[in-house]
Amino acid sequence: MSGTRATVAVTGLGVCGPGGVGVSALWEALATGRAHHPPLTEFDATGATLGAAGQVPGHTGGDGVWRALDLAETAVREALDGVDRERVALVLGTTDPGVVPPRPGHFTGDLAGACAERTGLGGEALTIANASASGAAAIAVARDLVALGEAPVAVVGGADAVTDMAFLGLNSLRTLGPEGCRPFSTERRGIGVSEGAAVLRLEPFHDAGPNAPAPLAVLAGCGLTNATGHLAAPGADGIELAVRLALADAGLAPEDIDFVNTHGPGTRRGDTAEIEALRAVFGPRLSSIPVNSVKGVLWHLQGGAGAVEAMACVLSLAHGAVTPTWGAEPVDPICADLDLVLEDGPRQLPDLRTALSVSCGLGGMNTALIFRRL
């Protein structure tokens, strides 16, 4: 895309997932390490020999994309509070971009189109499928829509449900661990899969206006890459390039980053590749940058992971604090030069101004987002 670009601000948030419903509930979960991962009830997991998974209680929209739609609608309605919806665009990332099956009285289409119909949004509706980086990639796409004036307001993020196909497929690949995510820990044994939706409301900063809520942050830079190589064994090069592209897009240097929220999946290959990429970008300074992962408490929200991690960055900037990496101890020696946040509660950083969020997807799909406090 080209043309005059406006500065894009984050003016609202909405979330529904293991941390609960609403932004306050999410921050409480991240700060305390307490979230909800009740046993699977929406499908029969008999025969699965491994794997931790949990579904959001109280959301019984059905299976597959219908359940993801129910979760997405809850998050979108929170982010849209008080907004004229006539020209609001909706961009949603998901790992399952299939058509929403028909039901009486419901339009059939993709996840974003069906959610826009439910919530009364009249702008563009786009669904992005980029594996675990889907939600973050959607944020990058929506940023350009708003920056170039193609949408006056965009609600963007990711949503996914725990389905039998996702759970049993990951289980058969032995990607799932028995106790959830343990990012950067010597005791990690795979990921725990969870579900939920997280969205950000984006608007041009100059259009926020006196009646709009104070912007929470500016979305300063985005970088997307698709690295070649082994399908399930990520390399550091693609992650490194995504971060460098985001820095260039934001007009920033590595020295300007105050905090990194990692993808941190809790797999040895994934954790190692991400750390190697960060070392390549930040060099010796990496040891003085607070680093965390939210997957220790939320587990892996699939297509919603990148969006909830971006939201965690925005909330950290708003609170002037970085939440712990729950489940990381004992820490893997590969993290010896990282300032991994391991406290029993948020680390207070009142001068926190710029945050980097890194998201990585199966097949080498990577997205880096940079947020700045105003």
Q: What is the pLDDT of residue 335?
A: 95
More confident residue, 104 or 292: 292
**C-alpha span between 183 and 194 (Å, rounded):** 15
**C-alpha span between 77 and 120 (Å, rounded):** 10
Domain segments of the chain as ranges: 8-207, 220-372
pLDDT surpasses 70 at 235:
yes
Q: What is the pLDDT of residue 358?
A: 98
pLDDT surpasses 90 at 81:
no
Residue 8: half-sphere exposure toward Cβ, Cα within 13 Å: 32
pLDDT surpasses 70 at 83:
yes
pLDDT over 70, % of the chain: 86
Q: 59-68, 159-168, 236-245, 265-274: which range is least confident on average?
A: 59-68
CA–CA distance from 86 to each of 78, 123, 137, 210 (Å)? 17, 7, 24, 20
**C-alpha span between 264 and 258 (Å, rounded):** 18
The 10s digit of each residue's pLDDT in 363-374 is 889 999 999 998
| Same fold across 8-207 and 220-372 | yes
More confident residue, 49 or 94: 94
- Enter the tokens of residue 288: 């003085």
Q: What is the pLDDT of residue 342?
A: 97
Q: What is the pLDDT of residue 47?
A: 55
**Where does the pLDDT of residue 98 fall: very low under 50, low under 70, confident under 90, or very high at 90 and above?**
low
Asked whether 243 and 276 are in contact (CB, 8 A), the reply is no
Other CB atoms within a 10 A radius of the CB of residue 374 amount to 13
pLDDT surpasses 50 at 276:
yes
**Where does the pLDDT of residue 2 fall: very low under 50, low under 70, confident under 90, or very high at 90 and above?**
very low
Task: Please write down the HEC assignment for all residues of 97-140.
Answer: CCCCCCECCECCCCHHHHHHHHHCCCCCEEEECECECHHHHHHH
| Matching CATH number, 220-372, of 2.60.40.10, 1.10.3720.10, 3.40.50.300, 3.40.47.10 | 3.40.47.10
pLDDT surpasses 80 at 39:
no
Orientation angle between helical segments 305-319 and 134-147, nearest 10 degrees = 70
**C-alpha span between 138 and 89 (Å, rounded):** 12
Q: What is the pLDDT of residue 262?
A: 98
| Across 158-171, average pLDDT | 81
User: Does the domain made of 8-207 have the CATH classification 3.40.47.10?
Assistant: yes
Q: What is the pLDDT of residue 54?
A: 67
Mean pLDDT of the chain: 89
**Where does the pLDDT of residue 1 fall: very low under 50, low under 70, confident under 90, or very high at 90 and above?**
very low
pLDDT surpasses 60 at 42:
yes
Cβ-proximal residues to 46 (8 Å cutoff; 6+ apart), any chain: none
